[in-house]
């Protein structure tokens, strides 16, 4: 099926404006229904040659609305990943603090064990002398 659309074209034959109803200065052109959406979205990409509308071969395969939806979804995912990364960073910082505290405690315990070993050795030496 086709639809009649009324076009104005520039000096190179490209569509400069269109209307759905007849108007002065606009030429009547038959447009395949499959092209109507693309013509309305990208009118300046279409041209008229010998009274016949020609579609360009380089139109995007995805609509701008679809790209916006995909971009919104990607931005939402990025935001969620950023939140996850921040949370993981906080956990890593807490774990590093815990490790530092455990290392300090291990050092203190090592010192206490060393003191007990020295004290035990001193007591053993004193008992042997006595």
DSSP 32-58: EHHHHHHHHHSGGG-EEETTEEE--S-
Domain borders along the chain are 2-54, 63-130
What pairs with residue 9 in β-bridges? 15
What pairs with residue 2 in β-bridges? 32
Q: What is the pLDDT of residues 105-115, one digit of tens each?
A: 999 999 899 88
Reported as type and span, the H/E element at residue 3 is strand 2-9
Q: Which residues does the chain have with pLDDT short of 50? A: none
SS3 27: strand
């Amino acid at each position: 099926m086709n639809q009649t659309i009324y076009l104005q074209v520039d000096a190179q034959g490209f569509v400069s404006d269109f209307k759905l109803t007849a108007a002065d200065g606009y030429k009547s052109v038959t447009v395949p229904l499959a092209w109507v959406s693309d013509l309305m979205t990208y009118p300046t990409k279409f041209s008229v040659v010998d009274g016949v509308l020609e579609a360009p071969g380089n139109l995007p395969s995805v609509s701008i609305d679809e790209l916006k939806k995909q971009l919104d979804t990607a931005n939402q995912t990025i935001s969620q990943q950023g939140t996850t990364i921040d949370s993981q960073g906080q956990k890593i910082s807490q774990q590093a603090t815990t490790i530092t505290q455990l290392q300090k405690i291990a050092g203190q315990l090592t010192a206490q064990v060393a003191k007990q070993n020295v004290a035990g050795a001193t007591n053993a030496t004193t008992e042997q002398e006595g």
